[in-house]
Chain A
Amino acid sequence: MNISDPGHNPARRRALSCLAAWTGAAIVWTVAGGVPRALGATNAGTPKAAAKHALTFVQISDTHIGFRKEANPDVVGSLRRAIADINALPQAPAFVVHTGDVSHLSRPEEFAQARDLLREIHVDRVHTIPGEHDTIDEGVNGYLNFFDHDGNGNSWYSFDQGGVHFIALNNVLNFKMGKLAALGDEQIAWMKSDLARVSHSTPIVVLAHIPLWTIWEPWGWGTADSAQALALLRPFGSVTVLNGHIHQVLQKVEGNVALHTAMSLAYPLPTPGQEGVGEPGPVKVPAGELGKLLGTRQITVARGRRELALIDRPLAG
């Protein structure tokens, strides 16, 4: 779709300008007692310093390295702007998580370029998970040649840092014809055994590319067996799920589980089931608007508090 032509489909253009306004500013969120609360908007200014001893990390998503079309002819430039923003944070994050669609077409040269770019971030580690764009030709194997965090050839893994238990999942395979992709029985069983050794008072952060709740099924924006995964997470006091895939910020709270999708660093997508838009393809916006629709997220976990502080920050505001 293309909205740069003023004579072209004004209804769609209006809808997209609403979209731009909606995600155009960074919103500081705090999730207290399971209920998210907006603290106020910021415009890419100096972020608030995180509390002492708090664990701070950054989420990036959907870099689609290899994408070269009109919606964003320079995804490498967008990622580099994000990297500059991250490297300029007053308090360096402990690490960065990338919630999938690292590449656009799963090509080895795309994975290699993405890996080299991510090494420009001044952090010890960038944790990644695969998106469906990373598993195109040979399942997850092409991705694992470059991003085998587990070391055992699995695309799912867990780690502990700063008193938080992180679970990184692959929910882009295991699909049935005409259905949503799924985690699959093997991964659900692994998740169950992994969580069995974690105390219920430990904050949990889950990374998964496709949202772990059904946002818009006709576009595949959901995970077929997410209910099983969320049931395993229910006994824990603080659970935060970080997703990508839909290239926009949405959130949902279910009891102690807060789910958040993130902006992309490549191109915007329509809002769920957006009127006048038949499919979830790249959205072209006028020059100057794109940077408002792409961005990063800073997450702070304060010890002893259930809520995580989230700041979604566009590349340009």
Chain B
Amino acid sequence: MSHPSFRAAIRSLHACAALALFIVASFVAPATFAAGASSASSVDVDITKFAFAPQEITIAPGTRITWTNRDEAPHTVTSNDRSFTSKGLDTGDKFEHTFAAEGDFTYICTLHPFMAGVVHVREQ
């Protein structure tokens, strides 16, 4: 669904982020990623008990989030502006999205629209 040049931009951001992580990781001990803010290039969000956990997260541009459905019921990860959306995620299924630009991204599960989450992407 993404535009090819957009994907290319994401790929180059991935490469930059990977390089940056390599440099940082060479000097810094592995960090534990707290829910509030994270400078890691990859973070996990669980979908559990009909909620996103953490429900609110702050990340740096270029960070990839991996959502994993831990429920027996299927869920989706669908942004309010439709800039990203998963397929229906069955138990154990994952969805990844890399956030290139700064901004606030609200998202829901389309099966259960009362399930809402937000990703804040901020230069840190």
**Residues of A participating in the B interface, judged by any CB pair closer than 8 Å:** 69-71, 104-106, 132-133, 135-137, 175-181, 217-220, 278-282
Contacts and interface: CB of A to CB of B under 8 A. Distances in A.
B53 to A, nearest CB: 12
Given A105-B90, A281-B50, A175 B110 contact: yes
17 contacts: A70-B72, A71-B72, A105-B88, A133-B74, A136-B76, A136-B87, A137-B87, A175-B113, A177-B80, A177-B106, A177-B113, A178-B116, A217-B114, A220-B113, A278-B49, A278-B50, A279-B51
A69 B111 CA distance: 18
Contacts of A178: 108, 113-114, 116
Interface residues of B, number: 21
A279 B74 contact: no
Contacts of A104: 74
Closest 9 CB pairs of A and B: A136-B88, A279-B50, A175-B113, A178-B116, A279-B49, A132-B111, A220-B114, A105-B88, A69-B72
A106 B90 CA distance: 11
Interface of B: 49-51, 71-74, 76, 80, 87-88, 90-91, 106, 108, 110-114, 116
A39 to B, nearest CB: 36
A104 B113 CA distance: 17
Contact of A280 (B50, B91, B106, B108): B50
Contacts of B49: 278-279, 281
A281 B72 CA distance: 7
A219 B114 contact: yes
Among B71, B80, B90, B111: residue with most chain A CB under 10 A: B111
Given A133-B74, A279-B50, A280-B50, A106 B88 contact: yes
Contacts of A280: 50, 73
B88 A220 contact: no
Given A279-B49, A281-B71, A69 B91 contact: yes
A137 B87 CA distance: 5
Contacts of B110: 132, 135-136, 175
Contacts of A180: 113-114
A130 to B, nearest CB: 12
